[in-house]
């Protein structure tokens, strides 16, 4: 059946419910170029204001999934993945994928670059010398099958309609639409041929969905649409009112993840999120009978070094150094200036503007202000003080890693503005506030 794009747009603009065939026509036209950028922008704005019902969201997700290659797998275990909506110091993917692989899952994790104040897993992987973060399909399949995990960037043939629509949304103020966010995330995951997905939906001042209500609405949409499209999915709403790890940057976060896997340092917040997400993945993949058993299995994979061994094999198989886990300092780039950022006053960290911490990393050169910008992988912060920690009197807010002294000074001042130091304990936030399942 032939449709007119402008009539589909008009129908949604006026609050109508789109049929699956209408959505499929629009997305096929977006992919082929028959639907113009102006029409795509108008469609996005109509959805932004009018929303979409569940069946419309499922249809949009499936249409975007079918716009390119859809992977299929023939592996002896379940194909599983995790997706985070983004935060600061969130390098969980580098620890989680090999831990689940060590438990018998297969994790073909397709990750993105940094967006706004948040760090991207793909940018972190690019800090590893020699690592092929965007391999061809054959290498991606081979590493996933042989190692059990491969963490890479999105290839051009997976959900290309999403790539085009997102670029249009980015410049038309229509990014913050739950139906469009849902379809964007899930179209790529469905195209990856997954059998189970866990969503880590961040809430707090360092998250895109700052309020608990917004985060819950997104999580419920993701779970409902993914399950409606045939992908078993659960979601956890997790706290982003402070950086998840005590490192923020690219090479510094890779080093943090390596220290975690090797047992050189395991911070409680980061460890708990990794274990919680891994346990959900194992249950979805029927690799554990319940969450308690799944937690034990993930804990053992990390404590025994099995997860570290999988990560080392993955890095080597994708072109990186074989001894990266044992000798990260030999391979990861280091900033020439490393110095403490002293607190303006001694006391207890009462609040952190986590988004501002992420933006301070971007200002150092560790993120992008334009898509075409390069990234300085060496810069960032380590030893970031967390909520409730004492600072002053020998305990700085963080160590800044910068290209020069002027940059270090500017970043240090930005970090001081992001921290509020007081005399009392800050309000507590649940690390995992909600679990949402179909």
| Active-site option among 12, 124, 189, 355 | 189
| Active-site option among 164, 169, 313, 331 | 169
CA 359 to chain CA centroid, Å, is 17
Check if 434 is active-site: no
Q: Where are the alpha helices (DSSP H) in 51-159?
A: 54-65, 92-102, 121-125, 137-147
What is the Cα–Cα distance from 407 to 328, expressed in whole angstroms?
25
What is the Cα–Cα distance from 54 to 221, expressed in whole angstroms?
8
Bridge-partner residues for 337, per DSSP?
402
Check if 61 is active-site: no
| Active-site option among 57, 62, 83, 310 | 83
| Active-site option among 31, 61, 84, 187 | 84
Nearest to 198 by CA among 226, 179, 174: 226
Instruction: Return the SS3 of 170.
Output: helix
Instruction: Return the SS3 of 318.
Output: coil
Are the CB atoms for 359 and 365 separated by under 8 Å? Answer: no
| Active-site option among 31, 133, 182, 184 | 184
Check if 126 is active-site: no
Instruction: Return the SS3 of 418.
Output: helix
What is the Cα–Cα distance from 40 to 29, expressed in whole angstroms?
9
| Active-site option among 121, 133, 274, 382 | 121
Token duo for residue 80: 């599983």
Check if 169 is active-site: yes
What is the Cα–Cα distance from 225 to 382, expressed in whole angstroms?
38
Check if 395 is active-site: no
Residue 403: partners with Cβ closer than 8 Å, 6 or more residues away: 335, 336, 337, 364, 365, 376, 378, 379
Check if 82 is active-site: yes
Backbone angles phi, psi at 173, to 5 degrees: 60, 40
Q: How many CB atoms lie within 10 A of CB 297?
A: 20
What is the Cα–Cα distance from 249 to 381, expressed in whole angstroms?
6
Check if 202 is active-site: no
Check if 286 is active-site: no
| Active-site option among 12, 62, 66, 82 | 82
| Active-site option among 57, 188, 202, 216 | 188
Check if 238 is active-site: no
Report the catalytic residues.
Answer: 81-84, 121, 169, 184, 188-189
């Amino acid at each position: 059946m032939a449709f007119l794009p402008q009539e589909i747009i008009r129908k949604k603009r006026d609050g109508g419910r789109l049929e699956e065939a209408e959505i499929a026509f629009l997305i096929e036209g977006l992919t082929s170029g028959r639907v113009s950028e102006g029409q795509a922008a108008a469609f996005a704005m109509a959805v932004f204001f009018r929303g979409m019902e569940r069946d419309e969201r499922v249809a949009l997700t499936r249409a975007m999934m079918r716009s390119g290659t859809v992977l299929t797998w023939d592996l002896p275990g379940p194909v599983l993945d995790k997706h985070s909506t983004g935060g600061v110091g969130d390098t969980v993917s580098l620890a989680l994928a090999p831990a689940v692989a060590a438990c018998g899952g297969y994790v073909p994790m397709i990750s993105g670059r940094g967006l706004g104040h948040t760090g991207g897993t793909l940018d972190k992987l690019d800090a590893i010398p020699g690592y092929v973060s965007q391999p061809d399909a054959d290498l991606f399949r081979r590493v996933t099958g042989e190692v059990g995990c491969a963490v890479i960037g999105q290839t051009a043939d997976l959900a290309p309609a999403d790539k085009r629509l997102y670029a249009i949304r980015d410049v038309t103020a229509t990014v913050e639409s739950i139906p469009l966010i849902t379809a964007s995330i899930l179209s790529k995951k469905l195209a990856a041929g997954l059998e189970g997905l866990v969503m880590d939906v961040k809430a707090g001042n360092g998250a895109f969905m700052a309020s608990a209500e917004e985060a819950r609405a997104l999580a419920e949409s993701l779970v409902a649409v993914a399950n409606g499209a045939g992908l078993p999915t659960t979601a956890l709403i997790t706290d982003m009112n402070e950086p998840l790890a005590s490192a923020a940057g690219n090479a510094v976060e890779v080093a943090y993840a390596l220290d975690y896997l090797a047992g050189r340092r395991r911070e409680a917040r980061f460890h708990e999120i990794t274990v919680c997400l891994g346990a959900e993945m194992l249950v979805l993949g029927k690799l554990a009978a319940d969450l308690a058993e799944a937690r034990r299995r993930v804990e053992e994979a990390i404590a025994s070094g099995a997860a570290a061994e999988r990560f080392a094999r993955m890095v080597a198989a994708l072109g990186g150094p074989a001894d990266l886990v044992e000798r990260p300092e030999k391979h990861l780039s280091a900033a020439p200036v490393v110095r403490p950022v002293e607190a303006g006053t001694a006391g207890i960290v009462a609040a952190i503007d986590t988004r501002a911490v992420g933006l301070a990393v971007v200002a150092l050169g560790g993120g992008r202000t334009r898509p075409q910008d390069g990234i300085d992988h060496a810069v960032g912060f380590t030893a970031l003080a967390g909520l409730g920690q004492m600072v002053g009197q020998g305990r700085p807010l963080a160590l800044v890693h910068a290209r020069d002294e002027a940059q270090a000074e500017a970043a240090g001042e930005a970090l001081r503005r992001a921290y509020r130091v007081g005399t009392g304990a800050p309000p507590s936030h649940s690390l995992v506030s909600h679990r949402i399942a179909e």
